[in-house]
Structure 1
Amino acid sequence: MSGRSVDVLVVGGGLAGCAAAMTLARRGARVVVAERLAYPHDKVCGEFLSPECADRFGQLGVSERVAALRPPALDAAVLSSPGGVIWTARFDRPGMGISRRALDALLADAARAAGADVCERAVVTGISGNLDAGFEASIRAGACEQRWKARVVIGAHGKRSSFDRALGRRFLRVRQPFVGLKAYFDGPPLAGQVHLHAFPGGYCGLAPVETGHTNVCLLVRQAQFAAAAGPRGDIESFVRWMARQNVLLGDWLGSARRVSERWLSISQVPFMPKPALDGDVLMAGDAAGMIAPLAGNGMSMALDAGMMAADYSAALLDARLTPSDVRRGYADAWRRRFGNRLRLGRALQAALLRPWLLEPGLRFLRLAPLVGELLVTHTRDLNMNGHIGSVL
């Protein structure tokens, strides 16, 4: 990889980054994606795609590729409390389950086919510049370090990474109390449903994916994990403890077998608000703000945000917007589109982590199904008309 000048540097080749890259490349922009890992790779993610993802795949022109994976259709979510209270939410149309290993690689291939240069094992180690003068980034690929120039930089690097440190982002100064774990299991079929089971200090999701396995992904407070995992931090000890805290979850895990070689883990999962524009870098996906996993909307939001970042980048490249316009407009548009969903997700997660709120809440939703429908609707995208570029 030799140093050169491009129109847009996209840091991170996940959903948001690839959506941005293929959108820009199809408009004729010179785009390079710096992805720190090689495809395919696993990620700590619940891997449930909410129903509106099908629309986003259509806008990105990858619907046939996605359908070829034969993902299971998921038409309902089942939520249970430690005490066994259950609430089922049915979707107006099905979502799907796809592993990030398959989906990220598919989108990276589509970005390449659109004309983007997707560089694997490429880590951005430093960056300088702004939207007025352009940027210069240091990128390490193996033993080789190069300097790249870009007119615009999109940060789509996930929840937290070395790129955040390179930018000196403020959220890194605050210790985050959550740990995430993920593995694949063979277990009892879930009948086209995604499950979410609460336990003290956390919750665990079950979602069928295209491989025929079930994704088991959980979020737990660090203090609760440490108490249950013991002094050695043994994940299996924690999982055995977790299975005893929720009857439905324990029954399923008791009949299931882990097929992953090991659990994937991530610490200090950040749910605090972050700037959507930081150091003049347009943030997208979890880099701009992570919705609570229980909302089931994270991957749809990543695709949306990637396309929105591409729209603003293209408008700057075409001189339809000035750097000042982008600074004002992008952050405002991001807040309008995602802010309420993030706040609702944090509020719902706070309730889920408190059994004294969760159990009466689930009983109420069973008696008032319209309220449940409203909650589901308001964690999702209410504006399904047209391309996201209509915000400009």
Structure 2
Amino acid sequence: MNKQTEIGIIGGGLAGLTAALHLLNQGFSVTIFEKNTYPKHKVCGEFVSNEVYSYLNSLGIDITSLHPSKINTTMISNRDGKSISASLEMGGFGVSRYIFDSYLAEKVVALRGRIIKDTVSKVDFNNDAFLITTENNETFSFIQVLGAYGKRSNLDTVLQRKFIQQKSPWLAVKMHYSVSYPNTLVGLYNFKGGYCGVSQVENKVVNICYLVQYKVFKKYKNIETFQENVLLKNQKLKKIFSQGTPLFEKPLTISQVSFENKPKIENHIVMIGDTAGLIHPLCGNGMAMAIHSAKLASELVISFLKKEINRDQLERSYSTIWDQNFKKRIQFGKVLSTILLNNFASNIVMKMIAFFPSILPFIIKKTHGKEVLDNI
């Protein structure tokens, strides 16, 4: 493949690896820049909606080989421990990022994609081409670059992205437990200042990941004290924690998680996954959105490289199609988060759902998309 059709991808997480596989499958050469080695645990809910299952299969990704849990039910619990369940029409699967990302990376290498372990420090765009500079002071030239480096990075500061200049009130915490928990269920447990997702991944391991407002968390010395005084006031969560055995030496955390709007194009870089926008974890759909955004970007990049569209059309089309697929979902997620964080409002909603059970399937539908067709 001529070097003029090379694609650089900054970040080797779920979105970056999926985009790489899509592009490699279509005969284009791809280089991924990833600062970490595989496998690696990441702060993530680790539930994937089946809306992207067929698309993943079309890329040669055999999800069954990862032995995921098969999830078809969701449950919401308020702070008092009262809960309501509903079936997930499309269903989903649970798989850890430790296993999933490493598997995708192996697929990329097998298709002769290049993964460079380094951090991108700068991206310049001149004469219709990109020049990437890494912390090891190496430079690489590409016709197109995709940004897939996650929720926040030093590169956001270099690119002067507006959201990075604003402090975010959120802290995310994730851990794996050995505990008895239904392998078909993804549970959402509300507590003061946040909410916690619980679901099984591969090998009967249970992933517990919660998001908490920093103003609530900072009153306590550490995670253990916070959990004891706040998180475990939800009796259903207390039961899970008391019966479980932690599998990590210490929880993984990420601070300054931002749910502010993010431009989809920065300095002509096409942003995908969490780099383009983040849905509240309570919606349980961030991984599927990352995969879907990689597909949307890859299809347009291919059209651009084939000279079917110009760069301006690529950028405008991607911003439009991203909004069409995800904007309303993200907005609804923000509203839902606001309701759940207010104990009074949360209790009213729970009572309404009890009287009108169809409300919960409506909420699920608003935070999930339609099946992503494998039209590559």
**Aligning the two structures, in what range does the TM-score lie when normalised by the shorter sequence?**
over 0.9
Distance change (3 Å), C-alpha of 1:320 and 1:5: closer
Alignment of 1:1-392 (within 5 A): 7-63=6-62, 66-119=63-116, 121-129=117-125, 133-140=128-135, 144-227=136-219, 229-230=220-221, 234-382=222-370, 384-387=372-375
Taking the aligned partners of 1:302 and 1:75, their CA distance within structure 2 comes to 21
- Which deviations, in whole Å up to 9, do the C-alpha atoms of 1:284-329 show, x marking residues without a partner? 0000000000111100011111111111111111101101111211
Deviation at 1:51, TM superposition (A): 2.3
Query: RMSD in angstroms over aligned alpha carbons?
Result: 1.6
Deviation at 1:162, TM superposition (A): 1.9
Taking the aligned partners of 1:60 and 1:386, their CA distance within structure 2 comes to 8
Deviation at 1:5, TM superposition (A): 7.0
Q: Match for 2:132: what amino acid?
A: A
Task: State the SS of the aligned residue for 2:168.
Answer: coil
Taking the aligned partners of 1:127 and 1:68, their CA distance within structure 2 comes to 37
Q: Percent identity?
A: 29
Q: Match for 2:125: what amino acid?
A: G
Taking the aligned partners of 1:386 and 1:101, their CA distance within structure 2 comes to 25
Q: Match for 2:348: what amino acid?
A: P
Deviation at 1:49, TM superposition (A): 1.2
- Which deviations, in whole Å up to 9, do the C-alpha atoms of 1:232-278 show, x marking residues without a partner? xx111111123432111112211112121111000000101101111
CA contact (8 A) 2:49 2:90 kept: no
Task: State the SS of the aligned residue for 2:203.
Answer: coil
Task: State the SS of the aligned residue for 1:339.
Answer: helix
Taking the aligned partners of 1:55 and 1:372, their CA distance within structure 2 comes to 26
CA contact (8 A) 2:78 2:189 kept: yes
Taking the aligned partners of 2:334 and 2:348, their CA distance within structure 1 comes to 19
CA contact (8 A) 1:134 1:152 kept: yes
How many residues align? The count is 374
Task: State the SS of the aligned residue for 2:138.
Answer: strand
TM-score normalized with structure 2 length: 0.95
Taking the aligned partners of 2:47 and 2:57, their CA distance within structure 1 comes to 18
CA contact (8 A) 1:243 1:253 kept: no
Deviation at 1:145, TM superposition (A): 2.0
Taking the aligned partners of 2:353 and 2:190, their CA distance within structure 1 comes to 16
Task: State the SS of the aligned residue for 1:376.
Answer: helix
CA contact (8 A) 1:178 1:221 kept: yes
Deviation at 1:385, TM superposition (A): 4.0
CA contact (8 A) 1:97 1:210 kept: yes
- Which deviations, in whole Å up to 9, do the C-alpha atoms of 1:32-90 show, x marking residues without a partner? 00011000001000111122232232132202xx2112111111111100122211121
TM-score normalized with structure 1 length: 0.92
CA contact (8 A) 1:46 1:217 kept: yes
Q: Match for 1:23: what amino acid?
A: H
